[in-house]
Amino acid sequence: MNPISRSEQLHCYMREHQLDAILPAALNAHLTLCDFEQGATICAQGELGSHLYILVKGKIKIFNTSAEGRTLVVSFKTPLELIGDVEFFQDIEIINTVEAVSPVVMIRIPYRALKEHGVDHPPLLRLLLDIITRKFSLKSQFMSFNLIYPVEVRLASYLLSVSFDENDRGFHGQLSTKGLTDAANLIGTSYRHLNRVLRKFAEEGLIQRSRDAIVVLNRDGLRERANHNIYEQKPERMD
């Protein structure tokens, strides 16, 4: 059996997400398929962006670091999602850091090609408008998540997000114990409080904590504790 070429893979993702009807044909020559391993940084807050990324496979984590050094999760995203769209239109530095939670595949489009071939294409503009408006709506909500919801809900949601991908049944992630301080910062709590909640989850059989990692044992129980995943918003399918 011959391996599928990158060009064939690209066309498969284009068809799967109906991007052939959204992207102008003139952009096709400028599209690149990019793979990111689990844990890889896709773009970093404060950098100068040069590409629009379209998430077509996997899950990403989006987080922001304040001027005071406080880091908080903004959201987790699955396909179809855009990265670098706000920065493209406003000509600003990258707003949030984006990291691959699971193995990720993205279609990359240079800004220069987007300016030349995409800004007057109605289907693409509609997609950009839909996603950007949703992002600004989420931005007004995400800070309240860390004020309204108790740590148990935030941690349960975080563990669900880093451990599972609804679009990839084969992915079962885990939280490294080396990253607990970062996890505490990301959900807006102290390391000590985080450990107390983790001990409680372990006693209830929701998770198993070893020396190296935290593994979810009872997904349904953790989902019930989270009520609903506050860090994930399901993207709507574009018609």
Q: Tens digits of per-residue pLDDT, 12-57?
A: 999 999 999 999 999 999 999 999 999 999 999 999 999 999 999 9
Higher pLDDT, 202 or 175: 202
For residue 233, being part of any structural domain is answered with no
Query: Which residue intervals of 17-121 are DSSP H helices?
Result: 85-90, 111-117
Q: What pLDDT is stored for residue 142 in this prediction?
A: 64
For residue 236, being part of any structural domain is answered with no
For residue 165, being part of any structural domain is answered with yes
* pLDDT tops 60 at residue 227: yes
Q: What are the CA-CA distances from residue 200 to residues 73, 147, 156, 197, 213 (Å)?
A: 23, 21, 11, 5, 16
Last residue of a domain, one of 146, 166, 182: 146
Q: What pLDDT is stored for residue 125 in this prediction?
A: 92
Same domain? 175 vs 130: no
Residue 209 maps to which CATH number? Answer: 1.10.10.10
Q: In this structure, are residues 167 and 101 in contact, taking their beta carbons and an 8 Å threshold?
A: no
179 Cβ neighbours under 8 A, 6+ residues apart: none
Please report how many Cα atoms fall inside a 13 Å half-sphere around the Cα of residue 18, on the Cβ side. Answer: 9
Average pLDDT over residues 151-179: 86
Q: In this structure, are residues 220 and 211 in contact, taking their beta carbons and an 8 Å threshold?
A: no
For the chain, the first-to-last Cα distance in angstroms comes to 35
**Domain, as residue range, for 82:** 6-146
- Model confidence at 185, in pLDDT bands (50, 70, 90)? confident
Last residue of a domain, one of 111, 126, 146: 146
pTM: 0.85
Same domain? 182 vs 132: no
Same domain? 35 vs 104: yes
Same domain? 69 vs 162: no
Same domain? 13 vs 106: yes
Residue 39 maps to which CATH number? Answer: 2.60.120.10
* pLDDT tops 90 at residue 171: no
Same domain? 13 vs 94: yes
